[in-house]
Amino acid sequence: MAPDAPSDSEDLDALVKRVDPDRWLSSRFIADPDERADVIALYAYDHELARAPRVASNSLLGEIRLTWWREALDEIYEGRAVRRHPTAQALAAVVGGRGLARAPLEAMIDARYRELDGQPLTEVEALEWARDTAGRAAEAAIAVLDPGAQPAAALDAAAAWALARRAADRPELRAAFDRLLAEGRRGAARLSAAAFPAVAHAVFAGPRLRGGSSEGLASRLKITLAVARGRL
Protein backbone atom coordinates (compact mmCIF):
# COMPACT_ATOMS: atom_id res chain seq x y z
CA MET A 1 0.00 0.00 0.00
CA ALA A 2 1.77 3.13 -1.20
CA PRO A 3 1.42 6.16 1.09
CA ASP A 4 -0.47 9.11 -0.29
CA ALA A 5 1.76 11.60 -2.07
CA PRO A 6 1.46 15.40 -1.80
CA SER A 7 -0.75 16.93 -4.46
CA ASP A 8 0.89 18.21 -7.63
CA SER A 9 0.39 21.77 -6.41
CA GLU A 10 2.10 21.14 -3.05
CA ASP A 11 5.84 20.59 -2.85
CA LEU A 12 7.54 19.16 0.22
CA ASP A 13 8.30 22.58 1.71
CA ALA A 14 4.63 23.54 1.50
CA LEU A 15 3.64 20.15 2.92
CA VAL A 16 5.91 20.51 5.94
CA LYS A 17 4.76 24.09 6.48
CA ARG A 18 1.18 22.83 6.63
CA VAL A 19 1.60 19.71 8.76
CA ASP A 20 4.68 20.57 10.85
CA PRO A 21 4.81 24.36 11.35
CA ASP A 22 7.26 24.24 14.29
CA ARG A 23 10.02 22.45 12.40
CA TRP A 24 9.23 24.30 9.20
CA LEU A 25 9.79 27.58 11.06
CA SER A 26 13.08 26.33 12.53
CA SER A 27 14.20 25.38 9.03
CA ARG A 28 13.90 29.03 7.93
CA PHE A 29 17.08 29.68 9.90
CA ILE A 30 19.10 27.38 7.64
CA ALA A 31 20.84 29.81 5.33
CA ASP A 32 21.91 27.41 2.60
CA PRO A 33 18.89 26.57 0.39
CA ASP A 34 20.18 23.10 -0.49
CA GLU A 35 20.71 22.20 3.15
CA ARG A 36 17.29 23.61 3.99
CA ALA A 37 15.65 21.49 1.30
CA ASP A 38 17.45 18.39 2.55
CA VAL A 39 16.30 18.97 6.13
CA ILE A 40 12.75 19.53 4.88
CA ALA A 41 12.95 16.15 3.14
CA LEU A 42 13.84 14.53 6.49
CA TYR A 43 10.85 16.17 8.16
CA ALA A 44 8.59 15.07 5.32
CA TYR A 45 9.86 11.52 5.85
CA ASP A 46 9.09 11.72 9.56
CA HIS A 47 5.61 13.00 8.72
CA GLU A 48 4.97 10.06 6.41
CA LEU A 49 5.99 7.60 9.12
CA ALA A 50 3.84 9.38 11.71
CA ARG A 51 0.83 9.10 9.42
CA ALA A 52 1.02 5.32 9.19
CA PRO A 53 -0.53 4.56 12.60
CA ARG A 54 -3.00 7.43 12.29
CA VAL A 55 -4.54 6.77 8.90
CA ALA A 56 -4.56 2.96 8.90
CA SER A 57 -7.90 1.43 9.87
CA ASN A 58 -6.15 -1.48 11.60
CA SER A 59 -2.67 -2.44 12.76
CA LEU A 60 -2.01 -4.70 9.77
CA LEU A 61 -2.53 -1.84 7.33
CA GLY A 62 -0.29 0.33 9.49
CA GLU A 63 2.42 -2.32 9.31
CA ILE A 64 2.05 -2.46 5.53
CA ARG A 65 2.61 1.29 5.31
CA LEU A 66 5.69 1.13 7.50
CA THR A 67 7.02 -1.84 5.53
CA TRP A 68 6.59 0.23 2.37
CA TRP A 69 9.00 2.79 3.81
CA ARG A 70 11.45 0.15 4.99
CA GLU A 71 11.52 -1.21 1.45
CA ALA A 72 12.13 2.33 0.21
CA LEU A 73 15.19 2.50 2.50
CA ASP A 74 16.37 -0.81 1.03
CA GLU A 75 16.17 0.68 -2.45
CA ILE A 76 18.00 3.83 -1.38
CA TYR A 77 20.85 2.11 0.44
CA GLU A 78 21.24 -0.70 -2.07
CA GLY A 79 21.52 1.74 -4.95
CA ARG A 80 18.40 0.47 -6.71
CA ALA A 81 15.72 2.49 -8.47
CA VAL A 82 13.68 4.27 -5.81
CA ARG A 83 9.89 4.19 -5.90
CA ARG A 84 8.24 7.26 -7.34
CA HIS A 85 7.00 9.08 -4.29
CA PRO A 86 8.13 12.70 -3.74
CA THR A 87 9.35 12.10 -0.21
CA ALA A 88 11.10 8.84 -1.07
CA GLN A 89 12.82 10.50 -4.03
CA ALA A 90 13.87 13.49 -1.93
CA LEU A 91 15.15 11.24 0.86
CA ALA A 92 17.19 9.25 -1.66
CA ALA A 93 18.80 12.48 -2.86
CA VAL A 94 19.69 13.50 0.71
CA VAL A 95 21.17 10.11 1.55
CA GLY A 96 23.16 10.00 -1.67
CA GLY A 97 24.33 13.58 -1.46
CA ARG A 98 25.14 13.66 2.24
CA GLY A 99 26.10 10.08 2.93
CA LEU A 100 23.58 9.77 5.75
CA ALA A 101 23.75 6.70 7.95
CA ARG A 102 20.82 4.33 7.74
CA ALA A 103 20.49 3.66 11.49
CA PRO A 104 18.62 6.86 12.47
CA LEU A 105 16.23 6.55 9.53
CA GLU A 106 15.58 2.90 10.36
CA ALA A 107 14.98 3.70 14.03
CA MET A 108 12.34 6.23 12.99
CA ILE A 109 10.40 3.42 11.32
CA ASP A 110 10.80 1.00 14.23
CA ALA A 111 9.49 3.57 16.72
CA ARG A 112 6.17 3.87 14.90
CA TYR A 113 5.35 0.18 15.28
CA ARG A 114 4.76 0.72 18.99
CA GLU A 115 1.88 3.07 18.17
CA LEU A 116 -0.02 0.43 16.23
CA ASP A 117 -1.32 -1.52 19.23
CA GLY A 118 -3.20 1.49 20.56
CA GLN A 119 -2.05 1.03 24.16
CA PRO A 120 -0.72 4.05 26.10
CA LEU A 121 3.05 4.23 26.21
CA THR A 122 4.74 3.77 29.57
CA GLU A 123 7.15 6.49 30.66
CA VAL A 124 10.14 4.45 29.49
CA GLU A 125 8.45 3.71 26.17
CA ALA A 126 7.43 7.34 25.69
CA LEU A 127 11.00 8.55 26.19
CA GLU A 128 12.33 5.93 23.80
CA TRP A 129 9.63 6.79 21.25
CA ALA A 130 10.39 10.52 21.43
CA ARG A 131 14.12 9.98 20.96
CA ASP A 132 13.63 7.55 18.08
CA THR A 133 11.18 9.77 16.18
CA ALA A 134 11.88 13.50 16.40
CA GLY A 135 15.22 12.86 18.10
CA ARG A 136 16.54 10.73 15.25
CA ALA A 137 15.20 13.22 12.71
CA ALA A 138 17.23 15.93 14.43
CA GLU A 139 20.26 13.65 14.44
CA ALA A 140 19.94 13.22 10.68
CA ALA A 141 19.39 16.96 10.22
CA ILE A 142 22.62 17.72 12.07
CA ALA A 143 24.48 15.36 9.74
CA VAL A 144 23.30 17.64 6.93
CA LEU A 145 23.96 20.97 8.66
CA ASP A 146 27.23 20.25 10.48
CA PRO A 147 28.75 16.81 9.79
CA GLY A 148 31.43 17.45 12.39
CA ALA A 149 28.95 18.03 15.21
CA GLN A 150 27.99 15.47 17.83
CA PRO A 151 24.44 14.44 16.84
CA ALA A 152 23.68 13.15 20.34
CA ALA A 153 23.63 16.76 21.51
CA ALA A 154 20.38 17.24 19.59
CA LEU A 155 18.60 14.10 20.69
CA ASP A 156 16.99 15.20 23.96
CA ALA A 157 15.91 18.65 22.81
CA ALA A 158 14.08 17.30 19.78
CA ALA A 159 12.68 14.43 21.85
CA ALA A 160 11.28 16.90 24.42
CA TRP A 161 9.48 18.69 21.62
CA ALA A 162 7.92 15.39 20.50
CA LEU A 163 7.04 14.31 24.02
CA ALA A 164 5.31 17.61 24.83
CA ARG A 165 2.10 16.72 23.02
CA ARG A 166 1.82 13.34 24.71
CA ALA A 167 2.59 14.84 28.11
CA ALA A 168 -0.15 17.44 27.58
CA ASP A 169 -2.74 14.66 27.97
CA ARG A 170 -0.68 12.46 30.30
CA PRO A 171 0.16 14.32 33.53
CA GLU A 172 2.19 11.33 34.71
CA LEU A 173 4.68 12.04 31.89
CA ARG A 174 5.33 15.65 32.82
CA ALA A 175 8.17 15.01 35.25
CA ALA A 176 9.94 12.99 32.55
CA PHE A 177 9.26 15.79 30.07
CA ASP A 178 10.80 18.37 32.41
CA ARG A 179 13.93 16.27 32.84
CA LEU A 180 14.21 15.64 29.12
CA LEU A 181 13.83 19.32 28.27
CA ALA A 182 16.47 20.30 30.82
CA GLU A 183 18.90 17.80 29.30
CA GLY A 184 17.91 19.02 25.84
CA ARG A 185 18.74 22.60 26.70
CA ARG A 186 22.18 21.58 27.91
CA GLY A 187 22.80 19.56 24.77
CA ALA A 188 21.57 22.29 22.44
CA ALA A 189 23.95 24.79 24.02
CA ARG A 190 26.84 22.64 22.79
CA LEU A 191 25.74 22.78 19.16
CA SER A 192 27.35 25.01 16.58
CA ALA A 193 25.44 27.90 15.04
CA ALA A 194 25.16 25.87 11.83
CA ALA A 195 23.62 22.87 13.64
CA PHE A 196 21.30 24.75 16.00
CA PRO A 197 18.32 25.01 13.60
CA ALA A 198 18.00 21.21 13.92
CA VAL A 199 16.69 21.76 17.47
CA ALA A 200 15.45 25.36 17.44
CA HIS A 201 11.84 24.19 17.33
CA ALA A 202 12.28 22.80 20.85
CA VAL A 203 11.62 26.34 22.12
CA PHE A 204 7.99 25.45 21.44
CA ALA A 205 8.04 22.35 23.67
CA GLY A 206 6.70 24.25 26.67
CA PRO A 207 3.94 26.01 24.70
CA ARG A 208 2.99 22.69 23.08
CA LEU A 209 2.67 21.14 26.53
CA ARG A 210 0.19 23.90 27.38
CA GLY A 211 -1.70 23.51 24.12
CA GLY A 212 -0.09 26.50 22.38
CA SER A 213 1.36 26.83 18.90
CA SER A 214 4.22 28.45 17.01
CA GLU A 215 1.93 30.91 15.25
CA GLY A 216 2.12 34.64 15.84
CA LEU A 217 4.77 37.31 16.14
CA ALA A 218 5.67 36.42 19.73
CA SER A 219 6.56 32.87 18.72
CA ARG A 220 8.66 34.05 15.82
CA LEU A 221 10.54 36.40 18.10
CA LYS A 222 11.03 33.57 20.59
CA ILE A 223 12.66 31.25 18.09
CA THR A 224 14.67 34.07 16.51
CA LEU A 225 16.13 34.94 19.91
CA ALA A 226 16.92 31.29 20.59
CA VAL A 227 18.79 30.96 17.30
CA ALA A 228 20.67 34.22 17.88
CA ARG A 229 21.77 33.10 21.35
CA GLY A 230 22.25 29.44 20.48
CA ARG A 231 20.17 28.47 23.52
CA LEU A 232 16.66 27.14 24.03
Q: How far apart are CA 175 and CA 91, in angstroms?
A: 35
Residue 146's H or E segment, with its range, is none
| Cβ(53)–Cβ(62) below 8 Å | yes
Residue pLDDT, tens place only, 80-107: 999 999 999 999 999 999 999 999 999 9
CA atoms in the 13 A half-sphere facing the CB of 85: 20
* Predicted pLDDT of residue 7: 52
* Predicted pLDDT of residue 80: 97
Q: What does the DSSP assignment read for 178-219?
A: HHHHHHHHHHHTTS-TTTGGGTGGGGGHHHHHTT--S-SHHH
pTM: 0.93
* Predicted pLDDT of residue 106: 97
Residue pLDDT, tens place only, 68-83: 999 999 999 999 999 9
Q: How confident is the model at residue 9 (pLDDT cuts 50, 70, 90)?
A: very low
Domains of the chain, by residue range, sit at 12-229
- Mean pLDDT across the chain: 93
- If phi > 0 it is left, if psi is from -120 to 50 it is alpha, else beta; for residue 99 that is left
DSSP category for residue 58: S
Q: Evaluate the CA torsion angle 86, 220, 185, 202 in order and state its sign.
A: negative
Q: What is the share, in percent, of the chain residues with pLDDT greater than 90? A: 79
> Is residue 38 over pLDDT 70?
yes
Residue pLDDT, tens place only, 173-214: 999 999 999 999 999 999 999 999 999 999 999 988 888 777
In sequence order, the 6+-apart residues with CB closer than 8 A to the CB of 209 are 164, 165, 167, 168, 174, 177
* Predicted pLDDT of residue 224: 97
Alpha-helical (H) ranges within the chain are 12-19, 21-27, 33-55, 59-77, 86-98, 102-113, 123-130, 136-145, 152-169, 174-188, 205-209, 217-229
Residue pLDDT, tens place only, 139-156: 999 999 999 998 889 999
- Residue 189, Cβ neighbours under 10 Å: how many? 14
Give the residue-averaged pLDDT of 128-143.
97
Q: If one looks up domain 12-229 in CATH, what number appears? A: 1.10.600.10
